[in-house]
Structure 1
Amino acid sequence: MASFDSRTFRDTLGQFLTGVTVVTAAAPDGTPLGLTVNSFTSVSLDPPLVLFCIDKSAGCYEGVVNAQGYAVHILGGDQVDLANRFATKGTDRFAGLNYTRGFYGAPILPGAMALLECRTVQRVDGGDHTILIGQVERLNPGSRTRKPLGYFRGRYTAIAD
């Protein structure tokens, strides 16, 4: 049994700098879904696999987990507002946003630093989260001159050279 509480565990994990993404998907009825995610990583180059983790208490949990696929928008340092929009509960995260639809109906947001469109290939129980593994079917690597958005100690940070 752990000798620490969940807050201490979370604070310890906050010492690890991560990137910031917005993951989008479409509910079965086509409703756009999205959330800010920093638990995103590559899994395999061949086949090209990535994963992200979604909290089982997230408002869009059922729709995202049951979607056929999803889009991962890797955010640039100038996109804190977008990260906050998709991290805020109880709002229409897509209100006023122009977006197109990608594979499996996932909303594609303009302006991301990079984009990966994925087919969900595996769902793994991970305690209070579900791990979604996706095979990348299309991507846009974006510009290598933009600075990424990071998350460190509970705050967004722009990454310098």
Structure 2
Amino acid sequence: MDPKARKTALRGIVYGLYVVGTTGEQGPNAFAANWLTQVSFEPPRVALAAKKGSRAEGEIAASGVFSVNFLPTGAKEFAQTFFGPVHEEEGKLGGYPFRLGVTGCPIFEDAVSYIECRVVERLDVGDHVLYVGEVVDAGVHREGVETLTLRETGFYYGG
């Protein structure tokens, strides 16, 4: 198999770019993620891939919960903040205001909408862990706003 062709082909999959919230012993945390998809209508479930061994992946494994914040188009800087470690200061995480949701995970005020999930399945899939989460809460901050995509940012992850 041609590695370049494989990478190019796999990067053709269209992804959103989200800020996923977690909770743990060090308090609220969040990371940028793009491997997310809905996998069931009833019950409502999503699948999320988190990098194996990362702080956030460990927090999801330990707590059994996560939130997904859907960002508005144009929010590249917001998402980019969560590619690295962030810290909580004065009601902000990575400099962005948030509140804790019903799961104890961060819900960002600047998100278009959000979901909160309880983990129902965990699968080791290689260098990432796939979590299937049942949606236990959801909210919309702004209707009719398009959400951020990975392609829009010019970032590449995968392939």
Q: Does 1:17 align with 2:21?
A: no
Displacement of 1:20 in angstroms is 1.2
Q: Distance in 2 between matches of 1:96 and 1:143?
A: 21
Q: Does 1:62 align with 2:61?
A: no
Q: Distance in 2 between matches of 1:153 and 1:9?
A: 21
Give CA-to-partner distance per residue, 1:10-35, whole Å, 9 cap, x none: 443222221111100101x2511211
Q: Distance in 1 between matches of 2:2 and 2:61?
A: 30
Give CA-to-partner distance per residue, 1:45-104, whole Å, 9 cap, x none: 1001011101114343212332221110011113211100011x2453724332211122
Q: Mean Cα displacement is larger for which, 52-61 or 99-108?
A: 52-61
**Aligned AA for 2:17?**
V
Unpaired runs of at least 5, structure 2: none
Say which SS state the counterpart of residue 136 (structure 1) adopts: strand
Identity of aligned residues (%): 23
Displacement of 1:114 in angstroms is 1.4
**Cross-structure match for 1:106:** 105
**Cross-structure match for 1:148:** 147
Unpaired runs of at least 5, structure 1: 157-161
**Aligned AA for 1:50?**
V
Q: 1:154 to 1:9 in 2, by over 3 A?
A: farther
Q: 1:4 to 1:102 in 2, by over 3 A?
A: same
Q: Contact (CA 8 Å) 2:122, 2:129: kept in 1 or not? A: yes
Runs (4+) off by over 6 Å: none
User: How many pairs are equivalent?
Assistant: 151
1:1-161 alignment, distance < 5 Å: 3-5=1-3, 9-27=6-24, 29=25, 31-87=27-83, 89-92=84-87, 94-152=93-151, 155=154
**Aligned AA for 1:104?**
T
Q: 1:12 to 1:135 in 2, by over 3 A?
A: same
Q: Distance in 2 between matches of 1:31 and 1:102?
A: 13
Q: 1:72 to 1:78 in 2, by over 3 A?
A: same
Q: Distance in 2 between matches of 1:99 and 1:30?
A: 16
